[in-house]
Structure 1
């Protein structure tokens, strides 16, 4: 995954890599902003789960 990445970039990347639907659903609840690292994404997962 290349950063920075927006919510839709994360969803597209997850779908291309056959992520489980539960992961896609969580990504769809992410705030619409630029995520600058995997740590940013991890923090956001903690908020939406």
Structure 2
């Protein structure tokens, strides 16, 4: 069974960014997966609900 895509939300992006920061001494690099997740969450939050 496959699931449909779930859009990135702020809570998930926050967890990803937190885990990345813990593993890299508090730094989240520009262009990293964590940064991209945060950007996607912001874009999804700005979209009108269907």
TM above 0.5: no
TM-score (norm 1): 0.38
Larger radius of gyration: 2
